[in-house]
Each structure stands twice: as C-alpha cells, then as structure tokens.
Amino acid sequence: MRENPDYNDLYYQNTTVHSQIIDIVTARAVPLGEFPVPMEWEAFFGNPHPVEIEIGSGKGRFLLEASKRHPTVNYIGIERAQKYVVLTQERFEKHIRHFGVDRASGTFSNVRLAWTDANYFLTRYVPPASVQAYHIYFPDPWPKKRQRKRRIFRNQDFLSALTHTLKPNRGRLYIATDYEEYFQEIQERLADLSLLRPVEANCSPDQDIPTNFEMKYVLEGRNIYRSVYERCSS
C-alpha cells in the first residue's frame, strides 16, 4: 500500500484537474485546490453539524432526499463524472422551482457536490475521525475480469482513508449493490480491516430512499444486497 499517495502522478492529474466544490443553492463552484488540506468541516459548512458523504452520488436522488429529510446533517456527494454532476444540479434546481423553495430559507444549505475522484478527496481532504457516515450505493462492479482492478473496494489507499476518516464508535458505512459476486468480495475485503465491524441489524435509517440505480434494478426484479459497518473505537 502506498502510505503517501503521490498527487502529482498521472492518474490524479487526469482525474482531478477540474475538481470543484459546488454549492447547490447558489450554484457557486470553487476549485477544490482553494480549500485547506484537510478541510475544516465547521468552517466549510458554517455549522458544527455531523458530516455524511455519498461516494458516487450519480444523479443525486439519494443526496436530495436525505439532505431534505435531515437538515441538521451536512452532506457531500462525491461524483467524478461531469454529466452526473450536471444532472444532480438540475435535479435540485427542478425541485427548488417546483416546490417554490426559498433559497434564503436554509433548505439544501447542508449539501455540497464534490466533482472529483473519491479516492483523491478522501485521502487528501477528509480529516481523520470526522465523518458520521459514508454511503456507497451501487459502486461500479467492473464485471469484466481484466477491469476488476478498477473496483473501488480493491484500492488499499481508499479503504485506509475510508476507515480512518470515520468517527470512532459511531461512524457508519452503508453499502448496497445488485452485484452478488462484488458484494461478497466487498465483505471479504472489509473483514480484513481491523477498524471495521459489521453491524448485526444491517439496515440504514434511510434505506427507504432508493437511488436511481436501485429504482431501475428493483423494477428489473434484481436482488439488492446491503451491509452496514461501524468503525471500532481505535
């Protein structure tokens, strides 16, 4: 495992050159490089509320519903594909217009979109022991054998950052996928991490908020596999 990822390497240069943080309400986009390393959540959100991060937030369905449901939780959706970042912004915009949401009311002031690579963001910008929950729903399964090395749960830097940035004792990791073989692999890989333990009753309080992929797969009659992990105290 690389102890200190090299942020000058080609992979990061290619995937993070456009990295931005987007404020959903104001549509203001700020280059990620302008933020401190690591970030200071209280200064970033302007409040001391807990932070939850969705990795691969796609078209933003979960992000919108969860942030509306929990106004005293701060949410960051990390998405590296620009088209999904734009679709997420449009989703929020439509919702704000349709429901006549007053932009000054504070609604959605608890959401930011990070247009960047999740591994880059977690290893560099997320402070240790600072995240209340990670949500990773329908991570790309890369089904072809030669592409499996791209699976995010195979990246040791990512797994290390994921566990160390969760809050000890209470920090949770929520996972869902339709891909049984990848689900088994994720469970095997997470079992190797001494800082994480599976939670027995493995349901999320927000399990009733389906992501876009989940809605599609449920309609197709596919099984959905879920698990929840908790960070141990040390």
Ligand X SMILES: C[S@@+](CC[C@H](N)C(=O)[O-])C[C@H]1O[C@@H](n2cnc3c(N)ncnc32)[C@H](O)[C@@H]1O
For ligand X, which residue has the nearest CB? 56
Residue with tokens 């990246």: 155
Q: Within its chain, how far is the Cα of 39 from the centroid?
A: 16
The answer to the question of residue 22 lying near ligand X (CB under 6 A) is no
The Cα–Cα gap between 107 and 111 comes to 9
User: Percentages helix, strand, coil for the chain, rounded to the nearest 5?
Assistant: 40, 20, 40
The answer to the question of residue 80 lying near ligand X (CB under 6 A) is yes
Residue with tokens 């990620």: 32
Q: Decide: helix, strand or coil at residue 24.
A: coil
Segment lying near ligand X (by CB under 6 A), choices 79-87, 162-170, 195-203, 221-229: 79-87
The Cα–Cα gap between 42 and 140 comes to 31
Segment lying near ligand X (by CB under 6 A), choices 74-82, 179-187, 192-200, 226-234: 74-82
Number of residues that bind ligand X (CB under 6 A): 19
The answer to the question of residue 138 lying near ligand X (CB under 6 A) is yes
Segment lying near ligand X (by CB under 6 A), choices 87-95, 137-145, 180-188, 194-202: 137-145
Residues found near ligand X in the complex (CB under 6 A): 56-58, 78-81, 84, 117-119, 137-138, 140, 152, 211-214
